[in-house]
Amino acid sequence: MITVLFFAKYKEELQTERLQLDWQQDWRTLGDVRDHLARRGAPWTILEDSTLMCALNEEMCSLNTPVKAGDEVVFFPMVTGG
């Protein structure tokens, strides 16, 4: 299993805050998890947004970051604090 969280615009448009996904043997990176979700079609294609940011286990990372079963993956739009 893998846990995926969404924030802000993504959370609203997907009407989803948290997902539990079965681990797929061919997943290597966060990008693979993102692609898996985007293949569901609209509205999940919002995750193909060029300004998408991500985190792994509460650390900012990139779509190239390796992922493993049990991880917590987070997808969110560009941050706008401050």
**Using CA atoms, how far apart are residues 29 and 4, in angstroms rounded to an integer?**
13
Residue identified by tokens 């992922």 is 67
37 binds other proteins (CB under 8 A): no
Least Cβ distance, residue 25 to other proteins (angstroms): 28
Q: Which is nearer to other proteins, 41 or 81 (CB)?
A: 81
Q: Which is nearer to other proteins, 9 or 40 (CB)?
A: 9
CB 4 within 8 A of CB 38: no
Least Cβ distance, residue 55 to other proteins (angstroms): 6
For residue 34, count other CB atoms closer than 10 A to its CB.
Answer: 19
By CB under 8 A, name the binding residues for other proteins. 5, 7-9, 12, 51, 55, 58-60, 74, 76-82
